[in-house]
Amino acid sequence: MNKLINIEQAIDLIKDGDTIFVGGFLGVGSPHRLIDALVKRGTKNLILICNDTGTPEVGVGKLVVNKQFRKIIASHIGTNKETGRQMMEGETEVELVPQGTLIEQIRSAGYGLGGVLTPTGLGTEYAKGKQIINVDGKDYLLEKPLFADVAIIAATKADKFGNLFYHGATRNFNNITSSAAKITIAEVEELVEIGDIDPDIVHTPGIFVEYLVNGGK
Amino acid sequence: MDVKSFIAKRVAREFKDGNLVNLGIGLPTMVANYVPENINVIFQSENGFIGLGPAPAPEQLDPAITNAGGIPVTVKPGAAFFDSATSFGIIRGGHVDYTVLGALQVDEKGNIANYMIPGKMVPGMGGAMDLLTGAKKVIVAMEHTAKGSLKILKKCNLPLTAINAVDLIVTEMGVIEVTPEGLVLKEINPEYTVEQVQAATEATLIIKGKPEIMKLD
């Protein structure tokens, strides 16, 4: 089984209209080369699910500037004025979700759950239209799973089976999103042979990763 | 000392040895500079670690280690990195002792609005809704008014980030505790009179005896 593909082959896997997860937090731990190639390709009408929309110059923000999304689901867009402009002018639909809820919705999708119950957002406008479920006297919001067609993520180190290791604060959404997409493509800084990563330090098991792109540092 | 540093320094006095604390962006971030030397506080960064340290020297800079605002930081010995699901498990699960956040408005029920002004500024809630819901104690650190317009109200009129969430409000004028009876002025900056603080506050302040003098050390 060869998971290693080149960047063009990776971008071929993302079709117009797809829902995509993009890993990273304000661009830290984002798959920058895949993002640049997707900007170049110009794939359109995508739905983005990502923690934030980076900045106009960094990370997933470049795809926003290039108007490749019809809808954005994120916890924070304040660092990218273009996202706010597109939302205000009705060009792009934006759905804001609390960060802890967003990651749990993705985890639910990948981990076989029908959703999660969280107290976050109770009593606010965000909760409007959401089902409230009472468990042992406490109210929770039902938050449903969020799936994607393709996840593009970044890792510090991978073996050729796709076992991933992340340095520092780059794990963020990368780890969980890998479980919830039909196809997960990991851009890796360092690619090693199978057996060269100690199984004790694998953060993302390779079974969640369909394809690898050797990104270099 | 400028107003923001004054507020940050007073907030830092709240912590006890061993507390886990999450600081919001802006003024709250400054609180880390004023933690008394004899108190060991562990800071969480919601993008994925505990053990947040000071800014790096140029030779220490690691682009994979940033705070939740994307600014490079260091980690202290004993730090731990994790993904966003674990990070928000820590937050939602009640493992964070204090969160310190800014606010656009706070009211006498402890409701807080700090994530959007409809039609004007819609940055998104990021991790704020989860922090307000999950942290054991919520401290609002902010200037008492916004260029003269009142922020401590009878009832917030901006979209709420959380209901009944705030425990303590620290401003340059004083320290206000949110109680079931309403807002109690616990401490006052001696540069102001009680009447001046009340005039800068829409909600009625409850005065129990004489408010203590706001102390920074």
* A78-104: pLDDT as tens digits: 999 999 999 999 999 999 999 999 999
CA distance B98 to chain A (A): 17
Name the A residues in 80-139 with CB < 8 Å from any B CB. 84, 87-88, 94, 96, 98-101, 103-104, 107, 118-126
Burial class (CB within 10 angstroms; exposed 0-12, middle 13-18, buried 19+) of B27: buried
Average pLDDT score over residue span B122-141: 97
Show the domain range for B150.
3-213
- pLDDT over threshold 90, residue A1: no
pLDDT at site A215: 85
Does the beta-carbon distance from A171 to B133 stay under 8 Å? no
Average pLDDT score over residue span B29-33: 93
pLDDT at site B121: 86
In degrees, rounded to 5, the angle at the alpha carbon of residue B45 between the alpha carbons of residues B44 and B48 is 105
Domain ranges of chain A: 7-113+145-214
Name the A residues in 14-73 with CB < 8 Å from any B CB. 25-29, 51-52
B88 vs A: CB within 8 A: yes
Closest A-chain CA to B90: A100
Task: List, as one string, the DSSP characters of A74-119.
Answer: ESB-TT-HHHHHHHHTTSSEEEE--HHHHHHHHHHHHTT-S-EEE-
For testing the chain B interface, which of A96, A106, A124, A176 should be mutated: the one with the most B CBs within 10 Å? Answer: A124
Interacting residues of A194 by C-beta distance below 8 A, sequence separation 6+: A159, A160, A161
Closest B-chain CA to A86: B122
Does the beta-carbon distance from B159 to A125 stay under 8 Å? yes
Percent of chain A whose predicted confidence (pLDDT) is above 70: 100
Tell me which amino acid residue B55 is: A
Contacts of B68 in chain A (CB under 8 A): 25
- pLDDT over threshold 90, residue A139: yes
| Tokens representing residue A40 in the block | 């170049």
Q: Return the bridge partners of A14, or none.
A: none
Average pLDDT score over residue span B85-109: 98
CATH number of the structural domain spanning residue B98: 3.40.1080.10
Distance CA B75, CA B4 (A): 25
| Tokens representing residue B171 in the block | 């401003």
| Tokens representing residue A108 in the block | 């639910």
The domain made up of A7-113+145-214 is a member of CATH 3.40.1080.10: yes
Does the beta-carbon distance from B47 to A156 stay under 8 Å? no
Burial class (CB within 10 angstroms; exposed 0-12, middle 13-18, buried 19+) of B153: middle
CB B86 within 8 A of CB B12: no
pLDDT at site B159: 96
Q: What's the structural domain count of chain B? A: 1
Does the beta-carbon distance from A28 to B63 stay under 8 Å? yes
- pLDDT over threshold 80, residue B19: yes
Q: Is B138 helix (H, G, I), strand (E, B) or coil?
A: strand
CA distance B215 to chain A (A): 34
Closest residue by Cα to residue B26 from B4, B10, B9? B4
CB B174 within 8 A of CB B188: yes
| Residue B14 designated active-site | no
- pLDDT over threshold 80, residue B5: yes
| Tokens representing residue A203 in the block | 């953060």
Average pLDDT score over residue span B161-172: 98
Closest A-chain CA to B61: A168
> What ipTM goes with this model?
0.97
